[in-house]
């Protein structure tokens, strides 16, 4: 994945979850890939406003919804700590790409976790 934004490229996505053995690395890797793809889409599509950004973040949120089954299968789940960390990653991405007025709840409005 080729991300040109230096903040996003250097960011350790989901770091807090990788540090906790409750969350399986192979599932976290898939979550990290979702976040990196979101960065790539933002760079490729260059959303002009928050409405356009939310279209992209909602699609990534749907991918996390689908990932919940993988957490369950690995004996884990997207619970409070994971929800907070994932939400913070979406907020970080929005800010890294200049959307400092993005609403943290709207970024992940379609979440089922």
What is the separation of C-alpha 98 from the centre of its chain, rounded to a whole number of angstroms?
16
Q: pTM for the full model?
A: 0.95
* Structure confidence by residue, pLDDT tens digits, 15-59: 999 999 999 999 999 999 999 999 999 999 999 999 999 999 999
Q: Quickly list H helices, 50-103.
A: 50-73, 80-96
Backbone angles phi and psi of 7, in degrees to 5: -65, -50
**pLDDT confidence of 2, banded at 50, 70, 90?**
confident
C-alpha closest to that of 43 among 10, 102, 14, 2: 2
* Structure confidence by residue, pLDDT tens digits, 58-67: 999 999 999 9
What is the separation of C-alpha 24 from the centre of its chain, rounded to a whole number of angstroms?
17
CA atoms of 33 and 25, how far apart (whole Å)? 12
């Amino acid at each position: 994945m080729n991300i040109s934004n230096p903040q996003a490229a250097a960011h350790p996505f989901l770091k807090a979850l990788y540090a906790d053995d409750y969350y399986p690395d192979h599932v976290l890797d898939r979550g990290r890939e979702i976040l990196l793809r979101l960065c790539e889409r933002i760079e490729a599509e260059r959303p002009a406003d928050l409405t356009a950004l939310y279209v992209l973040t909602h699609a990534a949120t749907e991918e996390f919804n689908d990932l919940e089954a993988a957490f369950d299968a690995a004996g884990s789940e997207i619970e409070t700590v994971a929800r907070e960390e994932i939400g913070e990653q979406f907020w970080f991405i929005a800010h890294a790409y200049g959307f400092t007025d993005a609403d943290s709840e709207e970024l992940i409005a379609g979440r089922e976790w």
